[in-house]
Amino acid sequence: MKRTLLLVALITLAAPAAGAAHGGSVLTGYVSTVSAVEPPVLGVNALVLGGDDRLRISNYSGKTIVVLGYEGESYLRFDGRGVWANTRSPAAHLNRFRRPRPLRPGVADAGAPPRWRRVAAGVMYEWHDHRIHWTATEPPEGVQEHPERIQRIFSWRVPGLADRKRFVISGFLGYAPDRRTRTDEETPGWVLALAGVGGAAALAAAVVVGVGARRARRAPVAP
């Protein structure tokens, strides 16, 4: 009975929270999660969409925010007139596709002065940032060896400037197989793994449910 209560609480608490954060279930594959903006920039929000597909930034800070590309070049600029992409940035071309493709010679130059083109009129923009997801065709070694386990793949960082002051968006990529493929005997391992990937709050709530049920059974029955 205790085991059943723990499972029900975990599934109920963990799955909806993940869907709200990423636009899908955390238990269906690769999941990338923003963990912090360091140092905090008031009004700048970042989250991942589509599991691990796209990084989205919203800038309500009133500051000019510049996201740096893979070679440290200016890639995106958020200012009072919208969002702009540097067409000379290699990232501007690589991020057009979910899987990075080789750059044609001469299409980008990270060392050249930026050439800005507006890509959005508002304060929000999303893109395929290849720092936040797994880009190789073969799965990571850990997934190949233990495809049934929830696991952390790597930590990632996306640097930027807020009015020329450095900050970084940090996060991690995890892997979580479809829960429908699991058996009851696998439960202890994936519950512990879920806590490590980011489900500690759900696990704690589930433990409270289990403890409450145990105490109820021990309580004397009124005559």
Instruction: Please say if the pLDDT value at position 78 is more than 60.
Output: yes
Q: How many domains does the chain have?
A: 1
Q: Summarize pLDDT for 83-95 with one digit per residue, the tens.
A: 999 999 999 999 9
Q: Summarize pLDDT for 109-120 with one digit per residue, the tens.
A: 999 999 999 999
In this predicted structure, which of 4-8, 78-82, 195-199 has the lowest mean pLDDT? 4-8
Burial 106-117 (b: 16+ CB within 10 A, else e): eebebeeebeee
Confidence at residue 99, expressed as pLDDT on a 0 to 100 scale: 84
Assess if residue 170 is contained within a domain.
Answer: yes
pTM of the model: 0.68
Confidence at residue 223, expressed as pLDDT on a 0 to 100 scale: 39
Give the domain range for residue 105: 26-181
Q: Summarize pLDDT for 128-146 with one digit per residue, the tens.
A: 999 999 998 889 999 999 9
Assign 209 a pLDDT band (cuts: 50, 70, 90): very low
Confidence at residue 150, expressed as pLDDT on a 0 to 100 scale: 93
Assess if residue 54 is contained within a domain.
Answer: yes
Assess if residue 142 is contained within a domain.
Answer: yes
Assess if residue 222 is contained within a domain.
Answer: no
Which two three-digit tokens encode residue 10? Answer: 């975990």
Assess if residue 198 is contained within a domain.
Answer: no
